Amino acid sequence: MRGAHREGHRTNRIGWLRAAVLGANDGIVSTASLVLGVAAAHATHGSVMVAGVAGLVAGAMSMAAGEYVSVHSQADTEQADLERERDELETDVSGERKELAAIYVGRGLDPELAKQVADQLMAHDALGAHARDELGISERLSARPIQAAFVSAASFALGAALPLLVTALTPQTRLIPVVAATSLVFLALLGGVAARTGGARVAVGAMRVTFWGALAMGLTAGVGALFATVS
């Protein structure tokens, strides 16, 4: 007898994929842009490295703090909704049963079957059924602030380390073109991998990330060159 068939869906990856891609993308773009901006202002190689390292540390902490606050706010909202749903189940279980049945009717079940499904699910786990089908909250997709903060910080640091490593290995005279070119390659690869993992078109994902990265680096380098001119 064969075991039950379990399908793997990409929605299971949304939480960590979003945090990882956002962190790595920001790490590459912000650090490469910072390096290019400082280099365009004719700073020494050592000053460029100091700026890059400072940007890595500050950016990783900023990503962690921002992601934690954002996701924790989502978690607080989910918890408040669950508490309200728990109170409603204690005070008006009949109304909540009808509400759940109405949801299933709206999804295509006939009223009698919807009532049976609602009765059985509420007998098994009333709060879980309402959380999942009324509020759209499931254990797999619920907010995890600490996980999101760690993934964002780690992915930012990893992304930032790529242009920083290139900066450390590149002579001052070739710093701007080499860092810009390699960073765009890193961004294209990241966008392609993220699109592939999420089931989207690889070429579109790569071009989208590369375009915005090139724009950010170009503007920052322009600002650095302008300051070098007027100073």
pLDDT surpasses 70 at 5: no
Say what the pTM is: 0.70
Using the 8-state DSSP alphabet, how is residue 12 labeled?
G
Q: How far apart are CA 43 and CA 167, in angstroms?
A: 13
Q: How far apart are CA 142 and CA 128, in angstroms?
A: 13
Tokens (6 digits) for 139: 């254990």
Helical packing angle, 175-198 and 202-230, nearest 10°: 150
Instruction: Look up tokens 């996980």; give the residue.
Output: 147
Q: Most confidently modeled of 12-26, 189-203, 213-227?
A: 213-227
pLDDT in tens, 126-162: 777 777 776 666 655 556 778 878 888 899 999 999 9
Share of the chain above pLDDT 90, in %: 33
**Domain chopping of the chain, boundaries:** 13-230
pLDDT surpasses 60 at 177: yes
